[in-house]
Amino acid sequence: MDNVAIVGVAQTKYEEDKIDQTYSELVFEVVKKLHNELGINNDDVGCVITSSNDFNDGRTIANMAIQDAVGSVRKAESRVSGDGAFAFMYGVMRILSESYDTVMVVSHCKCSEVNQYLVNNTIFDPYYQRHLGLDQISSAGLMANMYMNKYNVSEEQAAMVVVKNRKNALNNPFAHLRKEISIKDVLNSKMMAYPLKELDFPPFSDGAVAMLLAKEDIAKKMTETPVWFRGYGNCTDAYYLGNRNMTDLIGLELATKEAYRMAGVNNPVDNLDVCEVSENFSVHELMIYEALGLCDKGEGGKFIESGETEMNGSIPINPSGGVLSSNPTMANGLIRVAEIALQLQGEADKRQVPNAKTGLAYGMNGISSQGNCVLIFGGDL
Amino acid sequence: MPKHDVAVVGIGQTKFKSKRRDVNIPEMIYEAVKMALDDAQLEPKDIDAIVIGNMDHFEGINFSELMCGIEAAPGFLKPIVKVATGGTTGSSLAICGYHNVASGIYDKVLVVGWEKLNEGGATTGIITAFNPVWERPSLAGALGPLALMAGMYSAKYGITAEQAAKVTVKIGVTLPIIHMLTCRCQTLQLIML
């Protein structure tokens, strides 16, 4: 297989309400920043893949509203409806198929403009489930309760995830919530859906992210630190919550196996230096540790206690602060990819994991890991 | 030239009509999926990945690829990606399916495009494509901009209404189209209330 690399990334700061910018202006900010950083113009971009969600944008064909901002007028463009990690992979495919030399991938979300309960309730089928009022918070409560009960995971262990990610966010200038909190703060916050409290959940954020992908010879000309695409796995879990095994992320497990096989990862804790994962709530990250094979099934709680996923641990997870610190929902997967790219380029500033050579990014669609996209990157060829 | 040649090996289409009261959305999609799989002499287990799409606002289902891709397409424990680009969704899906195979990532990809407009509102959906401040208050959906375009084109090149009507007559669907216009007008009234 040919080699595809990320040659540059750009992010906005993630904030609660970017009232002074439309989402098209958010996108323009990152596209312009990317052009300036790489010293390129719109003619150097072969085609554009965007990722967005019409419900979150309150607009059908939401990609049409940003075509001037991404420079896709009279240029090939397509839109993946959903998380940015899936759009990233479509961009990689367009280079691997030898149709394009460079692809710009852009994702945006402005959560402040819509009622997130309604957006998430409409994921459920209109015939049987939607009227029950289910959304991502109530589903997460069901999932967390079943998982914690089965594997004897405590609320304190779950709270440690929030404390870790919020502490990491202090080092990330783009992060939305940059304030250290304690386990006690999490445990004492308002109950949302037992056993999950307000601080077990992320905020909703506004922001955008863009990156340029290129085939090998062009990537080497454009940057001294190309970040090579190494592995990919995609797997979808059941739609109805009742059809899912709610205590284990089966879809993510299978997607991970596929990505590890493609990238030649045998022992993830040894082979990977850093991971950026889309954790939708505190307990979710513990379940992700298990699905990624970083620890045994049911051991997620003990794994966070061991400190291995902290910045100075053997496998730091979410040095950026993760979704629990910044949550422009549709952009989360592409932000994970961008953060891994910065890590492997050695440009992650205060959140840099020393000597990071191999990294994993995980993006998801739907309710807590229904659609799963696992991507692996290596800094050296 | 692509690295891997790509071919269409099976096709399935439902009958197109204004109301399918006998099936729900996944059932309708499964009709076409089954036909395509049978045509290609493949089983669901032979499919490596699914590319599926529609426009979310038309039926009011967010992440429709989860409900439809998993329940009907058959995407349980398979890769699914959703592509949605408005009126070009069908061809955008085909292009995405092509890149999935031409890239060498997958061998056999099922591409599914669908709409069940009777269970939603096409005009209600389309009007949200327009700028919420400058254009949306007209509530004109696709008809308003299309009428502007047709008016300008006809005026510039001297196209008559009879010439335009001949297109419809050639396609031979005069009655259903009149019927569809009526439906759209009803939807318009609903929004204004």
Chain B contact for A239 (CB, 8 A cutoff):
yes
Partner-chain contact B53 A371, CB within 8 Å: no
B71 contact residues in A (CB cutoff 8 A): 239
With contact defined as beta carbons under 8 Å apart, do A342 and A15 qualify?
Answer: no
Tell me: do B31 and B114 sit in the same domain. Answer: yes
Q: How many CB atoms lie within 10 A of CB A258?
A: 18
- ipTM of this complex: 0.96
The residue of chain B with its CA nearest to that of A97 is B103
Tell me: do B114 and B144 sit in the same domain. Answer: no
Flag whether B13 is in a domain.
no
Tell me: do B114 and B143 sit in the same domain. Answer: no
CATH of domain A4-114+204-222: 3.40.47.10
Scan for tokens 């595809």, then name that residue: A4
Partner-chain contact B78 A82, CB within 8 Å: no
Helices (H) and strands (E) in chain A, counts: 15, 11
Q: Choose the closest CB to B83 out of A79, A126, A235.
A: A79
Partner-chain contact B83 A94, CB within 8 Å: no
φ and ψ at residue A355, rounded to 5 degrees: 55, 35
Q: What pLDDT, on the 0 to 100 scale, is given for residue B4?
A: 87
Q: What pLDDT, on the 0 to 100 scale, is given for residue B172?
A: 64
Beta partners for residue A9, in sequence order: A211
Is residue B98 over pLDDT 50? yes
B119, B137, B160 — which closes off a domain?
B119
Range of the domain at B126: 122-192
CA B59 to chain centroid, in Å, comes to 11
Type of residue found at A327: N
Residues in chain B: 193
* pLDDT tens for the 381 residues of chain A, in order: 789 999 999 999 999 999 999 999 999 999 999 999 999 999 999 999 999 999 999 999 999 999 999 999 999 999 999 999 999 999 999 999 999 999 999 999 999 999 999 999 999 998 889 999 999 999 999 999 999 999 999 999 999 999 999 999 999 999 999 999 999 999 999 999 999 999 999 999 999 999 999 999 999 999 999 999 999 999 999 999 999 999 999 999 999 999 999 999 999 999 999 999 999 999 999 999 999 999 999 999 999 999 999 999 999 999 999 999 999 999 999 999 999 999 999 999 999 999 999 999 999 999 989 999 999 999 665
CA distance B175 to B186: 17
B69, B91, B119 — which closes off a domain?
B119
Q: What pLDDT, on the 0 to 100 scale, is given for residue B182?
A: 30
Flag whether B14 is in a domain.
no
Partner-chain contact A78 B96, CB within 8 Å: yes
pLDDT band, residue B184 (cuts 50/70/90): very low
The three-state secondary structure class of A173 is coil
Residue A325 to residues A162, A318, A360, Cα–Cα distance (Å): 9, 10, 19
CA A145 to chain centroid, in Å, comes to 24
Partner-chain contact A96 B86, CB within 8 Å: no
With contact defined as beta carbons under 8 Å apart, do A114 and A58 qualify?
Answer: yes
B119, B148, B167 — which closes off a domain?
B119
Chain A contact for B132 (CB, 8 A cutoff):
yes
- Cβ neighbourhood burial of A58 (10 Å; 0-12, 13-18, 19+): middle
What DSSP state is assigned to residue A58? T
CA distance A255 to A233: 4
Flag whether B160 is in a domain.
yes
Mutant choice from A25, A79, A236 vs B, greatest count of B C-beta within 10 A:
A236
Q: Torsion-angle region of residue A21: left (phi > 0), alpha (psi -120 to 50) or beta?
A: beta
The residue of chain B with its CA nearest to that of A51 is B83
φ and ψ at residue A212, rounded to 5 degrees: -110, 130
Percent helix, strand and coil across chain A, each to the nearest 5: 45, 20, 35
Q: Choose the closest CB to B67 out of A92, A119, A125.
A: A125
